[in-house]
Amino acid sequence: MKGLFLSFIIHYFLLFANLGFSFEIRIGIETSDPLQISGDGYFEIYGPDGFIGRRFNSGINLVSHNNGIIVGGYGVFSPPIFIIGVGESYPKLSKRRYRGTIEINKKQEILQAINTVDIEEYLYGVIKMEINTKWPMETLKAQAVLARTFAYQSLGKYNKRGYDLCDEVCCQVYRGINAEDERAIFAVNKTTGEVLYYNKSLANIYYHSTCGGKTTNPKSVWGGRENLFSSVVCPYCSGSPNYSWKLYLSFDDISSKLNIGNVSSINCIYTSDGRVAKIIINGKRIFGNEFRKLFGTTKVKSTLFRIEEKKNGIMLIGKGYGHGVGLCQWGAKKMGDFGFTYKDILSFYFPGCEVKRILED
Ligand SMILES: [Zn+2]
Ligand SMILES: [Zn+2]
């Protein structure tokens, strides 16, 4: 019976996915107990044995119980519980509306909500969280291709938790229908199914706010062996508010953060493309990336900096914002302003990569 109902759910989507692609993604959207479900119209509740109830707008509480999940007003049911909007209505979890289905499971006595949604519709709720949707359409299309590539590449990332991706910044920020806007939807629809390939496989994609004049490769930021695309000289991001920055760090601050005595020496080791690979303070080595985290990545905006000694401290004189790998968003904005297409933008920042439809191979 359970299997039968799940296959009903799957067919439901195959029938109604009219985008030509019916790949689905499962997003972990909330872990909490109780969970509050409502809708912006009619929504229906199903359990493994089928229909439980139909509601209009009003909220119901789901609470974990020894024998399953209490569905407020209906009783106790075995998980998973599925919430589906009727017609043009969408179910809501807390204050957010979602396309697709909301599935509620019990994980270690706590409730876990998963949004199962067509990948294209998932992207509608991602783009605005990752880039300013007032920017040129070609820039937004480039971002859409990257977000889609990341989604396909991440299918199964959190399999052990029962979903593909979470909705936070460690994956891609996703806020359902609340984060959609017309331009984001347009950018997704105009690039339907298009992803970035490197040779025969999906490219590992990265993007950041501002490279500061030159992008870098994954190896010089995170170590390891991945060195697929080379760094490129980016002449496009000087309009970014973070193209150049300065930060003063006092010796007191440094010694307390690093748990060392009086600062007696500071030296930097640079990567071949000019970023701080390691910073050595009183003989203690810290990776550039770790150094950013230690003092705050919104303060030490990148590893593209040099150091000047000042009274009782140092001044970091830096460029760019973010890790510097892959697409530079402020550069991509300017390329869009200049009339480059999204394919031009992507091949500029990902040399050797190619935009293709996911089903082409
Ligand atoms: Zn995540
Ligand atoms: Zn740039």
Q: Which ligand is nearest to the CA of 320?
A: 2
How far, in Å, is the centroid of ligand 2 from the Cα of 297? 18
The alpha carbon dihedral of 164, 170, 172, 175 has a sign of positive
Alpha carbons within 13 angstroms on the beta-carbon side of residue 102 total 29
- Residue 10's pLDDT band, with cuts at 50, 70 and 90, is very low
Which residues, 6+ apart, have CB-to-CB distance to 287 below 8 Å? 223, 277, 278
pLDDT at 109: 85
135: region left, alpha or beta (phi > 0 left; psi from -120 to 50 alpha): beta
Q: Is the N-terminal amide bond of 34 cis, ω within 30° of 0?
A: yes
Mean local confidence (pLDDT), 309-324: 96
Residue 359 in this model has a pLDDT that exceeds 80: no
- Residue 88's pLDDT band, with cuts at 50, 70 and 90, is very high
Task: Read off the pTM.
Answer: 0.89
Question: What is the rounded distance in angstroms from the CA atom of residue 69 to the CA atom of residue 344?
Answer: 51
Residue type, 94: S
Q: Each residue of 21-52: pLDDT tens digit?
A: 568 999 999 999 999 999 999 999 999 999 99
How far, in Å, is the centroid of ligand 2 from the Cα of 331? 5
Question: What is the rounded distance in angstroms from the CA atom of residue 194 to the CA atom of residue 357?
Answer: 4
pLDDT at 218: 80
- Residue 224's pLDDT band, with cuts at 50, 70 and 90, is low
Q: Which ligand is nearest to the CA of 234?
A: 2
φ and ψ of 266, to 5 deg = -135, 125
Kind of pairing between the strands at 327-328 and 68-71: unpaired
- Residue 220's pLDDT band, with cuts at 50, 70 and 90, is confident
Kind of pairing between the strands at 207-208 and 75-77: unpaired
Residue 54 in this model has a pLDDT that exceeds 50: yes
Kind of pairing between the strands at 201-202 and 194-198: antiparallel
pLDDT at 7: 46
Q: Which ligand is nearest to the CA of 163?
A: 1
Q: Which ligand is nearest to the CA of 319?
A: 2
Residue 4 in this model has a pLDDT that exceeds 90: no
Q: Which residue has the higher pLDDT, 224 or 204?
A: 204
